[in-house]
Amino acid sequence: MSLLDNIHSPADVKALPAEALDQLCRDIREELIGAVSKYGGHLASNLGAVELTVALHRVYDTGRDRLVFDVGHQCYTHKLLTGRQDFTDFRDLGGMAGFPRPDESVHDAFVAGHASDSVSVALGMARARTALGADYDVVALIGDGALNGGMALEGLSDAGKSGEPLVVVLNDNGMSINESVGGLAEMLARMRTRVEYIRFKKWYRRAIMPRVPRLNRLLTGAKRWLKERLIPDNIFGDFGFEYIGPIDGHDIAKVEKALRWAKEYRAPVLVHVITQKGRGYPPAETAPEAYHGVGAFDVASGVLRYTGEDFSSVFGRTLTELAGEDEHVVAITAAMMEGTGLIGFQEAYPDRFFDVGIAEEHACAMAAGMAAQGLKPVFAVYSTFLQRSYDMLIHDVALMGLHVVFAVDRAGIVGRDGVTHQGSFDVAYLSSVPGMKIYAPSSFDELRSMLRKAVLEDTGPVAVRYPRGGEGGYRGDSSDKTAESVYFHGDDVTIVSYGAEFNEAMMAARMLRGGGVDPEVIKLNVLSPLDAEPVLASVRRTGALLVAEEACAAGSVGEKLLAAAEQAGIALRASRLVNLGDGLLPHGEPWKLREMKGLDNGSLARTVLEMLHGEDKA
């Protein structure tokens, strides 16, 4: 029988005797491996944080105290210990989320899907506690990779000098998704040697000091020299934190002792724990980056399910080819080398590949500096993470019209990672950037062609946005038609779409043709600057417009087309904009989310029939 069967709340964790905790951790790892192998999710990061999470729940009451996760992909053990052990609907529509969600449990203090914000959020909660005269503890759990983000340092700088009782737990496994990079990573690597120094010091006190006092005096200078090299200046102490560590993050007793001391100190404290990403599952220990975010896999062999070619891998190979043609092409990633398909580029051109860690703002500004000096930088980044660089897009890139290419991965519906990762907003925020050109490929061939144009032919800022996963039924390449391509010439209704959603629009058009409706389908290749004239020419004839797009409503292409029709004096008898709406998109399988938003082919066809039969309310 698993000890997890008796864990219904953190109170049950606190009630366990210390000798039962190792078994509990083994049961948790078995549950995590089994659940993620079936439903996918983040595995290696959760396996590495099991003992740390158990210790946190033995010291704090997360129903009252506030535990703020950074990123949050390591929260699965936390969910298991707070009454959420049913993974059958994990990351599915209406089911348990893969990240902390306060609307899911009182034990989740804050939504966490992006890195580097936990210290700032936790300090805000601590200051609110003081202002309101409340009584609870606040803990921020941050990984070493997230320290690369400038926001983390901003938060540490303010929190350390604030005097607020606050505990920051640094979970240091030497990795973000890939291996951690940069000066902070090197500093933490040096700080880990403090353990070696402490062991040496204990031996020295026991073996040398009592027996050879004269040698002890002679070695004092040598000890000081050794300490200065093994224990570097502590940046956290400079920020104003009382520093504890480093501690073995898999030794629950030691972690629990440190957390209790930190809790009672009533001032800013940073507890530095060392953990192993993927611990307890040999395949994940050996290749933690491969098991960071995974689909279903075979537990016994560790073989990951093969998903075939996808847009990310096509992008990576194409960019590598372009780099072979032009020595000015360089690639930039923010700790997403594998996710954005850049492993091959890094191997082929290591001197032209730059992983800046989790620091999208820095990556964007650095790209601007490169472009200003004659390079052709390509910043590969997920849509949801590029949001963090919005100021740099305008101030550092657009103001000078610099030729920086943004490879915007995971544009549109992402799926099971949910609300924090859906690529809903890039069409709106990128099209607001002066001079930005936006390509929207719908197939692998179009991605290849449009990326080539963006890198080698265009000038100024350019974005190429493409979806997660593989291509659909459309396999063509209409990129030679710069702005648009017309499919299915017709007279009854104009259907406009782009990107991955074009597959659904095409299927809907075929259904409509089978039912006697004659649609005209237009695929947009360039979203900004938007050439509305081909669409206007079509709606002058059809009198009806439907625009289907995986983007938020505000700032959508559909809004721009309706405005253009109004300005052109075109009186539409029916119109409908089908998009992701004004809210936030939850987690779930992509096909279910499309159905929910009316973006699947069946819903689009029904919407057109409603429009043509006078039932349109738009």
- Which of the four pLDDT bands, split at 50, 70 and 90, describes residue 98? confident
Under a CB-based contact definition with an 8 Å cutoff, are residues 105 and 82 in contact?
A: yes
Residue 345 and residue 386 in one domain: yes
Of the given ranges (138-142, 417-421, 532-536), which has the lowest mean pLDDT? Answer: 417-421
> What pLDDT does residue 360 have?
94
User: For residue 470, is it within any domain?
Assistant: no
> What pLDDT does residue 337 have?
93
Helices 183-192 & 194-207, crossing angle to 10 degrees? Answer: 20
> What pLDDT does residue 294 have?
78
Under a CB-based contact definition with an 8 Å cutoff, are residues 173 and 275 in contact?
A: yes
Catalytic residue among 360, 361, 504, 550: 360
Share of the chain above pLDDT 70, in %: 89
Active-site annotation holds for 277: yes
- Domain of residue 219 covers 194-230
Please check the confidence at residue 163 and state whether its pLDDT lies above 60.
yes
Please check the confidence at residue 8 and state whether its pLDDT lies above 70.
yes
The torsion region of residue 174 among left (phi > 0), alpha (psi -120 to 50) and beta comes to left
Q: How many residues make up the chain in this entry? A: 618
Residue 126 and residue 162 in one domain: yes
| Alpha-carbon distances of 77 from 35, 41, 140, rounded to whole Å | 12, 13, 16
Summary mean pLDDT of the chain: 88
Q: What is the mean pLDDT of residues 171-191?
A: 59
Catalytic residue among 58, 388, 437, 465: 388
Active-site annotation holds for 289: no
Please check the confidence at residue 56 and state whether its pLDDT lies above 60.
yes
Task: Pick the last residue of a domain from 465, 495, 528.
Answer: 465
CB atoms within 10 A of CB 520: 22
Residue 141 and residue 184 in one domain: yes
Please check the confidence at residue 126 and state whether its pLDDT lies above 60.
yes
H helix intervals, 475-615: 502-514, 533-542, 557-567, 590-597, 601-612
DSSP state of 306: P
Share of the chain above pLDDT 90, in %: 63
Exposure letters 348-363 (e unless 16+ CB within 10 A, then b):
ebeebbbbbbbbbbbb
How far is 532 from 539, CA to CA, in rounded Å?
A: 11
Residue 238 and residue 213 in one domain: no
CB atoms within 10 A of CB 18: 10
Coil, strand, or helix at residue 157? helix
> What pLDDT does residue 443 have?
95
Residue 238 and residue 224 in one domain: no
Please check the confidence at residue 615 and state whether its pLDDT lies above 80.
no
Exposure letters 200-232 (e unless 16+ CB within 10 A, then b):
eeeeeeeeeeeeeeeeeeebeeeeeeeeeebee
Q: What is the pLDDT of residues 588-609, one digit of tens each?
A: 888 899 999 999 999 999 999 9
Whole-model pTM? Answer: 0.84
Find where tokens 């659909």 sit: 472
Omega within 30 of 0 (cis) for the link into 268: no
566 vs 95 pLDDT, higher one: 566
Task: Pick the last residue of a domain from 437, 465, 493.
Answer: 465
> What pLDDT does residue 176 have?
44
Q: What are phi and psi of 578, to 5 degrees?
A: -110, 115
Q: What are phi and psi of 121, to 5 degrees?
A: -65, -45
User: For residue 115, is it within any domain?
Assistant: yes
Contacts of residue 602, defined as CB under 8 A and 6 or more positions apart, other chains included, come to 508, 511
- Tell me the chain's radius of gyration from C-alpha atoms: 27
How far is 78 from 80, CA to CA, in rounded Å?
A: 5
CB atoms within 10 A of CB 452: 18
For residue 553, give the CATH number of its domain: 3.40.50.920
User: For residue 305, is it within any domain?
Assistant: no
User: For residue 616, is it within any domain?
Assistant: no
Q: How many domains does the chain have?
A: 4
183-189-192 Cα angle (round to 5) = 145
Beginning with the edge strand found earlier in the chain, give each strand of the sheet holding 242-248 in spatial order: 66-69, 138-143, 166-172, 268-274, 242-248
First to last CA, the chain: 57
Residue 222 and residue 260 in one domain: no
For 142, the enclosing helix (H) or strand (E) is: strand 138-143
Nearest alpha carbon to residue 251 among 232, 283, 284, 279: 279
Under a CB-based contact definition with an 8 Å cutoff, are residues 461 and 335 in contact?
A: no
Number of H helices, E strands in the chain: 26, 19
> What pLDDT does residue 204 have?
55
Q: What is the mean pLDDT of residues 330-354?
A: 95
Of the given ranges (30-39, 271-280, 434-443, 515-524), which has the lowest mean pLDDT? Answer: 30-39
Under a CB-based contact definition with an 8 Å cutoff, are residues 38 and 296 in contact?
A: yes
Active-site annotation holds for 541: no
Q: What is the pLDDT of residues 378-425, one digit of tens each?
A: 999 999 999 999 999 999 999 999 999 999 999 999 877 877 788 889
For 276, the enclosing helix (H) or strand (E) is: none
> What pLDDT does residue 234 have?
73
Of the given ranges (318-327, 360-369, 473-482, 534-543), which has the lowest mean pLDDT? Answer: 473-482
How far is 397 from 72, CA to CA, in rounded Å?
A: 31
Residue 339 and residue 237 in one domain: no
User: For residue 617, is it within any domain?
Assistant: no
Q: What is the largest CA-CA distance in the chain?
A: 102
Q: What is the mean pLDDT of residues 579-589?
A: 87
Residue 562 and residue 587 in one domain: yes
What's the token pair of residue 583? 């809210």
User: For residue 140, is it within any domain?
Assistant: yes
Please check the confidence at residue 199 and state whether its pLDDT lies above 70.
no
Q: What are phi and psi of 438, to 5 degrees?
A: -125, 115
Residue 529 and residue 549 in one domain: yes
Residue 135 and residue 271 in one domain: yes
Most confidently predicted of 172-181, 199-208, 486-495, 594-603: 594-603
Please check the confidence at residue 286 and state whether its pLDDT lies above 60.
yes
Residue 413 and residue 442 in one domain: yes
Task: Pick the last residue of a domain from 433, 465, 497.
Answer: 465
Residue 315 and residue 277 in one domain: no
Catalytic residue among 84, 129, 277, 560: 277
Q: What is the pLDDT of residues 552-576, one digit of tens each?
A: 999 999 999 999 999 999 999 999 9
For residue 448, give the CATH number of its domain: 3.40.50.970
User: For residue 473, is it within any domain?
Assistant: no
User: For residue 561, is it within any domain?
Assistant: yes
